[in-house]
Amino acid sequence: MLVSRIRCRWQTTRRLCLRRNRGRPAIALLTAVNRLGEPHREVITRKYFDRLTIEEVAGQLGIPAGTVRSRLSRAYSELREMLTDES
């Protein structure tokens, strides 16, 4: 259930990016990810660019899986704000 909510949030953020930045969605999304704080950028990068599971990210970073989920949730919120502010 939690994983499907996280996946839904990421898809919503991507759709928002596509809508707001019609011709350059990938650049806008990467720019927004780069503007995230280090802990949030790290979990987003490992989860979606390196395609690791939450448990794998947690193992690599030496933190609990719940912390990874929390950081992902906060990162989605920050990305949504950044991408909304740009338009």
Q: Tell me the pTM.
A: 0.70
Q: Is residue 64 very low, low, confident or very high in pLDDT (cuts 50, 70, 90)?
A: very high
Mean pLDDT throughout 49-69?
95
**Cα 52–Cα 70–Cα 63 angle in degrees, nearest 5:** 60
pLDDT digits (tens, 9 = 90+) for 7-52: 555 566 656 555 555 556 677 788 889 999 999 999 999 998 899 9
Burial of 65 (0-12, 13-18, 19+ CB in 10 A): middle
- Residue 82: which pLDDT band, with cuts at 50, 70 and 90? confident
Q: What is the mean pLDDT of residues 67-77?
A: 95
